[in-house]
Structure 1
Amino acid sequence: MSSPRRTSAIPLIALVVISSLAIIGDEAASMSMVLTAVDQGQPWMVTWFSLSLAIPAMVLAPLGGAIVDRYDPRRIWVAYLALQSLCLGAASLQDDFWARLSLLAASNVINILSGSAAFALLPALIGPVRIERANSLMAIGSSLAYMLGPALSAWLFDIVGASLMLGANAGTTAILAATALALVLRVERPETTDATSRSLWGGVRSGWQAIRSAPVVAATMPLLILIMVGTSIEAVAGMFWLRQISGTDTLYGLVLSCWAIGSIIGAYLAGTKRLSPRTMLLIVGGGLCMALAILAEGLVPIAIIIGGAFVIGGLGNGTHNVGVRNLIFQQIPQAHIGSAWAYYRMLASTSVAIGYVVGTPRTPNDAQGMVIVAGICALVGVLMAIVALRLPKPRAISSKARDSPEPATGDDTMATRTR
C-alpha cells in the first residue's frame, strides 16, 4: 500500500542536491591538502595523503558495513554525518599538516559508515522513482560535483586558504546531516535478518559471503579492481602528461572537463528504461570505454583527440558507476546491502592506494608510459570480466538474492573514477 510519504520525489531530489554539495566540500578539503603539499615541494606528500585516507577505510570498511546491517541505518546515517562534520571542523582549526591529515583520515572512515547507511536507505527514500533512475540521478549529482569541485577548490585555495576550505566542508557535511535527519523521519527502518543472532564479526563474514554467493558480482570484481587501479595510475601520471601535451592550463582544464561532461551524459543514459536493464552492458561496456580512452590518451598525444576520447571515456565512467550501484541492489539481499557497499568502498580505497603507489615513482619522468600502463591495466580487467561472465555457472545468477526475503532488486520495473 502506498502512503503520502512514498509518493513524492522531493526527498530524493533533496538527497541528490545536498550530497553533491557535500562532495564539493570533500573535494575542497582534499584539494587544500594536495595544494599544501605541492606548496611545500614534497610530491610524495600527495601520495601519503591518499594512502592515509585509503588504508584506514580499507581496514575498517567491512566492520562498518556490518554495523550498518546490524543496527538502524537511519540513526547511523545522521549520527555519523554529524561526527564527520565535527572532525572536519577540528581539522580546520589545526595548523599542522599531519594533524589535519589524521583528522581527515578519521573523517574518511566515518564517511564509509554514513555512505553505506545512505546506500541501504536509498530504496526507502526514492518515492515513485525507479531505483535505476535514482542511482542515475545520484551518479549525475556526483559527476557534477566532481567536475565543479576541483576547479572551484583550486580557485578558492589562493583566496581563502586551507582552513576556511576545511571549515566549508564541515559546514556542507552538517547541512547533509540536517537533511538526513529530516529524510529519515519519513521512512521506517529497512527490513533485515535477525541481527541479534550474530555478532559484528559474524556480520563481516556474512556480508562477504553474500557477495561471493552472487556469481555475477564475484565475476565483475577483477574488472572493478583493475579499472580503479588503472584510473588511479592515470590520475597521477595523466596530470603531468596532459599538461605537457596541452601547453596551457586553459586547454588542460578543457580536456579534463570533457571526461566530466561525458560522465554526466553516461549517468543519465544509464537510468533510461532502454539501458537500465542491461546491467552488464553498463558495467563492462562502460569499463571498456574508459580503458580505450586512457589508452588513446597515452598513444595519441594530440589534445583535441584526447578530448574526444575523454568524452567517450567519461560516458563509460557514468554508465559504469550506475551499473555497479544497480548490480548491488539486484544481486545482494537487503540484509547485507550495507556490507556490500562498504566492501565496494574498501575495494575502491585499496585500488586507489595501489594505483597511487604504482604511479608515483615513475612520474613525471615517464608519465606517458604510465598512462599506457594504466590503460592496459583497465583493458585487462574488462577482458577478465568478459571471460568470467561467459563461463558456465553452477548456480542461477540471483539464487541467493531470490531466496532472501524482500531483496531490493528493482527488477520489478524492468532495473571514485569520476574526475
Structure 2
Amino acid sequence: MLRTAGDCTPFAVPMLLVAGLLPGLLATPLIGRLVDSRDAGKLLVATALTNAVIIAWMAWHPDLTSTIVGASILSVAFAIGGTASFALIPVLAAGLGMTLPRANAVLEFVRSAGMLAGPVVGGALVAWGGTGNALLIDAASFALLAAVVLASGLRRPVKAEEDGEARTLLSEYLPVLRDRRIMIMIGALTLEVYATAIADVAFVFLVTVTLAAGPTVFGLLTACWAGGMMAGAAASGTMAMKRPAPIAFVSGTVMGGIMLAIGISISTTIGSIAFVGIAFVIGGAANSAHNVAVRTMLQREAPANAQGKVAAIYSASTSSAGILGYMTGGLFAPNGAVDAYVLGGTLGVVAGLVGWLLFISIKVRPS
C-alpha cells in the first residue's frame, strides 16, 4: 500500500483495496465447494506457494497494473487459504490432542500478536530495504508456511459423493442455509462486524479531532486493543467451552457496550484518553473471546462435509459487513466520531442480545 500511495494515478489506493477484497468475495461460493471436495491440507500448501510466487513477482514489478493484478490473485488465494484453515483447525486440534477452543485460541493469539507486531516490522523492513525487499521477505514467509504444512503431513481427506450426481451450487449450499442455528450465529456476527467497522473508521478521527491527540496516542490506543485481544485469546484457551454460543453472544454484547460507553462518555465530557485505553483493553479481550467462540461453535455445528461452505458463508458475510461498515463510518468523518461510536455500540448490543434470543428459541437438532 505504501508503494501504491506514492503513485500519481487518481484513486490508486482505493483501487488496490477493492482488488484485495472483491475477487475473493465474489469467488467465495465456489471456494466453499472446493474446500469441501478437496483435501484442505493440500489446498493450504498450494495457496501458500501461490502467495509466495505472486508476492515475489509483485516485488519485481512495481507498476500499478501489476500491483492491482497481483492483489486480485492474492485476494482469491487468501480466501481459499482462510477457508481451508477453518476446516483444518478441528483436524489439527485432534492431532495435537488439544480441545477445539484451545486450538482456536492459539490461532487467535498468533493473529493478535501479528496485528500488534506486523505494522512495526513491516514499516522497519520498508525503511531498511524498500518495499521490494519487504515483499520478497513476505514471499519467503509464505514459502516457509507451505514447507511446514507439507512436512507436517496435515491432511483432511474428504469422502466422494455416493450418488455420483452433479449438483448445482445452490443445492449444495441449501442444507447449510436452512440450518437456523448456524445462520442466526452468522447473522448476528455480521451485524457485529458492521458495527465494529463503523467505529474502526471513526477511530482515527476520535483520536485526532475529538480528543485532539497525536500519532503517539493513536499508536498506544491501538496497542491497548491488540494487547486486550492477546489477553482474551490466552484466557479463551483455558475455557472448555462446552457451550460456546453464550460466550459468543455475551462477548459480542460487551464489545457493543464498550463502543457505546466510549461514545456516551466522551459526548458528556466524562471520557478521557485513559478511559478509552482501559475500554479498548476490555473490548479487545471481548473481541478475541468472541472470535474463538464463534469459530468453535460453527466448526462443531457444521457437518464435516460442509465446513468449507460454512466458512465461505462466514467469510463472505463478515467481509461484506466490513466493507459496508467502512462506507457508513466514512459518513461521520471527521467531526462525527462520537456519533459513530454511539451508533456502532448500539448496533453491537442489539446484535448480541437479539441474536441470543433468536438462538435460544431454536431447538437443538438431534445428533
* Fold match by TM threshold 0.5: yes
Q: TM-score, normalised by structure 1?
A: 0.78
Question: Aligned equivalents of 2:118 and 2:67: distance in 1?
Answer: 20
With over 3 angstroms needed to count, the CA separation of the structure-2 counterparts of 1:46 and 1:188, relative to structure 1, is closer
Alpha-carbon offset, residue 336 of structure 1: 0.9
Task: Confirm whether residue 103 of structure 1 aligns to residue 70 of structure 2.
Answer: yes
Question: Aligned equivalents of 2:75 and 2:133: distance in 1?
Answer: 19
Question: Aligned equivalents of 2:41 and 2:110: distance in 1?
Answer: 22
Given candidates 199, 205, 208, the residue that maps to 1:240 is: 205
Alpha-carbon offset, residue 213 of structure 1: 3.6
Alpha-carbon offset, residue 200 of structure 1: 6.8
Q: TM-score, normalised by structure 2?
A: 0.88
Question: Aligned equivalents of 1:219 and 1:304: distance in 2?
Answer: 36
Contact 2:207–2:217 under 8 Å retained in 1 = no
Question: Aligned equivalents of 2:15 and 2:184: distance in 1?
Answer: 32
Task: Confirm whether residue 128 of structure 1 aligns to residue 94 of structure 2.
Answer: no
Residue deviations 1:21-64 (CA, integer Å, cap 9, x gap): xxxxxxxxxxxx0x445556999655443333222122101101
Q: State the partner residue of 1:270.
A: 236
Given candidates 237, 245, 267, the residue that maps to 1:280 is: 245
Q: State the partner residue of 1:225.
A: 190
- One-letter amino acid matched to 2:181: V
Given candidates 310, 335, 341, the residue that maps to 2:311 is: 341
- One-letter amino acid matched to 2:99: R
Q: State the partner residue of 1:292.
A: 257
RMSD over equivalenced CA pairs, Å: 2.5
Alpha-carbon offset, residue 308 of structure 1: 0.7
Alpha-carbon offset, residue 217 of structure 1: 1.5
With over 3 angstroms needed to count, the CA separation of the structure-2 counterparts of 1:347 and 1:172, relative to structure 1, is same
Contact 1:69–1:192 under 8 Å retained in 2 = no
Task: Confirm whether residue 376 of structure 1 aligns to residue 343 of structure 2.
Answer: no
Alpha-carbon offset, residue 246 of structure 1: 6.0
> What percent of counterpart residues are identical?
25
With over 3 angstroms needed to count, the CA separation of the structure-2 counterparts of 1:164 and 1:383, relative to structure 1, is same
Question: Aligned equivalents of 1:95 and 1:188: distance in 2?
Answer: 36
- One-letter amino acid matched to 2:119: P
Q: State the partner residue of 1:54.
A: 21
Q: State the partner residue of 2:269.
A: none
Point out the more displaced range, 43-52 or 234-243: 43-52
Question: Aligned equivalents of 1:102 and 1:365: distance in 2?
Answer: 36
Q: How many residues align?
A: 359
Contact 2:42–2:155 under 8 Å retained in 1 = no
Residue deviations 1:214-267 (CA, integer Å, cap 9, x gap): 332221222211111122222222122223426232222111111111111212
Alpha-carbon offset, residue 281 of structure 1: 2.3
- One-letter amino acid matched to 1:212: L
Contact 1:223–1:381 under 8 Å retained in 2 = yes
With over 3 angstroms needed to count, the CA separation of the structure-2 counterparts of 1:89 and 1:37, relative to structure 1, is closer
- One-letter amino acid matched to 2:217: L
After superposition, residues 132-171 of structure 1 pair within 5 angstroms as: 132-171=101-140
Residue deviations 1:382-402 (CA, integer Å, cap 9, x gap): 2330231243x3xx4244xx3
Point out the more displaced range, 376-385 or 345-354: 376-385
